Each structure stands twice: as C-alpha cells, then as structure tokens.
C-alpha cells in the first residue's frame, strides 16, 4: 500500500482517496481534498497559505533538515520478499519514528524557549513604562487607610 503526498498541503493520501489532476505534459498532481484542489486551480502558492506544511517549514515552525526524512523517500525498485528483511525494516521504521518524534519535540521546545525569553523582556519593558499605574494607586490607598482609622477607639 503506497501512501501518496498531497501536492498542495503535503498531507497523506491513502489509496482510494483524494483526486488526481494530470496536466497536458503528463505531470501528475495529487490532492487530498477539494480545498487543496481549489487552491491549486486558483494558482495559490502553498508557501503563503498558512495551514500548509510548506508554509510551516518556510516560516521555521517545523523541522526541515533531518536525516530521518531520508527514510520517507519514494523507492520504485521492488525488493524480493524475505521475512528477516521485512522484520528488520519494520523495526527500523518504528525506531526512526521514535527518533523523529523526539527531535521534533526538541525543536519545538527550543523554538518556544526563544519566545519565552522575548516575552519576558517585553513584559519587563512594559512594567517599566507603566510603573506609575502600579505605584500611584497603592500609595494613595495607604494614606486613605491611615486617615480613616480612628486613633483612640475608646
């Protein structure tokens, strides 16, 4: 069973799903859903449409260069069936998937860490600019509390 990739959004297309467009020069375009097909017909660039994988990779939101992507490449040469080779391949696929998941998680955490540092700097700057809003009401309340309290309750 071959799982194809959508030309527009790079999503998976399982057998019997999606649609195929063949241009006059025999170039084949596969689409996972009508949304992708319509955007292709409108000549939209997938790198500018925010929900596509191409945009996420171009914007640095997803991992782009990694050795684990090498295993997903399409191979057209059939290999003679051998039980040992088949079992090793399945074990390798599981291991590659684990490695890919950990690397993607690490990439996301590093990306979020940069944003947290920037957010902290912005928060400190905002507090420094608006410190008068924080200090003034508290200072006024302390004086009002002292004036309202009676000195001798007897």
- Over residues 123-138, the pLDDT tens digits come to 999 998 988 877 765 5
20, 72: one domain: no
Asked, for residue 139, whether it belongs to a domain, the answer is no
φ, ψ (nearest 5 deg) of residue 30: -110, 140
27, 88: one domain: no
Give pLDDT tens digits for 14-64.
999 999 999 999 999 999 999 999 999 999 999 999 999 999 889 888 877
pLDDT at residue number 136: 61
pLDDT at residue number 148: 62
Q: What is the pTM of this model?
A: 0.58
67, 50: one domain: no
Structural domain including 81 reads 63-134
Least Cα distance to 36 among 5, 7, 2 occurs for 7
Asked, for residue 73, whether it belongs to a domain, the answer is yes
């Amino acid at each position: 069973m071959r799982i194809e990739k959508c030309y527009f959004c790079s999503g998976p297309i399982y057998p019997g799903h999606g649609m195929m467009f063949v241009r006059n020069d025999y170039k084949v375009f596969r689409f996972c859903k009508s949304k992708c097909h319509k955007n292709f017909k409108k000549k939209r660039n997938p790198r500018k449409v925010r929900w596509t994988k191409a945009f996420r990779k171009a914007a640095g939101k997803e991992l782009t260069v990694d050795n684990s992507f090498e295993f997903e490449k399409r191979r057209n040469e059939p290999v003679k069936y051998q039980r040992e080779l088949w079992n090793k391949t399945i074990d390798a696929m599981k291991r590659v998937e684990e490695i890919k998941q950990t690397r993607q998680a690490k990439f996301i955490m590093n990306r979020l860490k940069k944003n947290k540092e920037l957010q902290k700097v912005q928060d400190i700057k905002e507090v420094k600019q608006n410190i008068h809003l924080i200090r003034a009401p508290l200072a006024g309340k302390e004086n009002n509390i002292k004036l309202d309290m009676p000195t001798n309750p007897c």
